[in-house]
Amino acid sequence: MFGKDLISIHDLTCDQVAAILDTAIKVKANPEDYEHFLSGCTMAMIFEKPSLRTRVSFETGMTQLGGHAIYLGPNDISLGKRESVPDIARTLDRMVDIIMARTFAHQSVLTLAQYAEVPVINGLSDYSHPCQVLADFQTISEKKGELKGLTLAYVGDGNNMAHSLMFIGAKTGVNVRIVCPKGYEPRADVLALAVEDAKETGAAITVTNELNEGVSGAGVVYTDVWASMGMEAEAEARKAIFRPFQVNAALMAKAKEDAIFMHCLPAHRGDEVTDEVIESWQSVVFDEAENRLHAQKAVILRLMVAEGELD
């Protein structure tokens, strides 16, 4: 066990990140070895946003580990509206063994973790997306081998994905370059935390507005939607600003010849990425999507099972 909750990759040590990734690889290779670890356990899954990969991977993961998951959508729980977040946390705490929450406000996840004694997993917030990047780095490890020393160029908005990629790059020794339009950089406090974390591994965590500088020589090129959920009113205005940052064949050519392309999905084809790239031999987006299942099973196991039983 690496702690009570998984809220942000920044909260984990380098060894703890490595242990989750190692467990994810083992779970993927031999799922039958883990079928009964969570027999009789229940996960409450709180969703404020629509979901495909997060819901299916967590629900399937709990089933494959011998447990059960309950979907609680926006019409079932209105965090902080129909009932306060502390009251929801303390109610669920009496009935379930673990909570996963996919929210708009990061504070909602923090409050759930504060008031619930059972583990709480951040399934996505406006601050970070730790489960996604664990699956991402499992995928990179499968495709590239050793993580330390690789360079990942993230092209797009300095959002929760940018934050989490900086954090996990810092913990694993992967150089992360955030390549974004001026005014759309990641939060300065997050960058400062990631740079501090990176001192342990020697990773270079940088932010640039220059495409050539950011993508040149990268072994991984990553992008995300230009307007995240909740930013729909900005979507059209953002298209004009982000158009030069589209990941297309010309941009991929600036990276290493054997560079892989990644996207957390869903993708807006023709906006942040072209069909030519997402359907190319370089694209590993559906391997990433599959690895959400294995990485999240690893997180659940590491939160709920004693280390001696897993290692």
Asked whether 165 and 154 are in contact (CB, 8 A), the reply is yes
Q: Is 28 helix (H, G, I), strand (E, B) or coil?
A: helix
- The single-letter DSSP state of residue 273 is B
Split at pLDDT 50, 70, 90, the class of 295 is very high
Q: Which of 136, 68, 75, 129 is nearest to 102 (CA)?
A: 129
Q: Which residues of 106-142 are buried (b: 16+ CB within 10 A; e: fewer)?
A: bbbbbbbbebbebbbbbbbbbbbbbbbbbbbbbbbbe
- Identity of residue 269: R
Whether 9-129+291-310 and 132-288 share one fold: the answer is yes
Domain at 9-129+291-310: CATH architecture? 3-Layer(aba) Sandwich (3.40)
What residues form DSSP beta bridges with 71?
Answer: 45
CATH number for the domain running over 132-288: 3.40.50.1370
- Percent of the chain at pLDDT above 90? 90
Model pLDDT, residue 229: 64
Nearest to 24 by CA among 295, 286, 293: 295
Would you call 44 helix, strand, or coil by DSSP?
Answer: strand
Whether residue 311 is predicted with pLDDT greater than 90 in this model: the reply is: no
50-84 pLDDT, tens digit each: 899 999 999 999 999 999 999 999 888 878 788 99
pLDDT at 27 over 90: yes
Q: Is 159 helix (H, G, I), strand (E, B) or coil?
A: coil
What are the pLDDT digits (tens) for 203-232?
999 999 999 999 999 999 999 999 876 667
- Which residue ranges make up each domain of the chain? 9-129+291-310, 132-288
Q: Identify residue 253 by its one-letter amino acid code.
A: A
The residues that are catalytic are: 102, 129, 132, 224, 264, 292
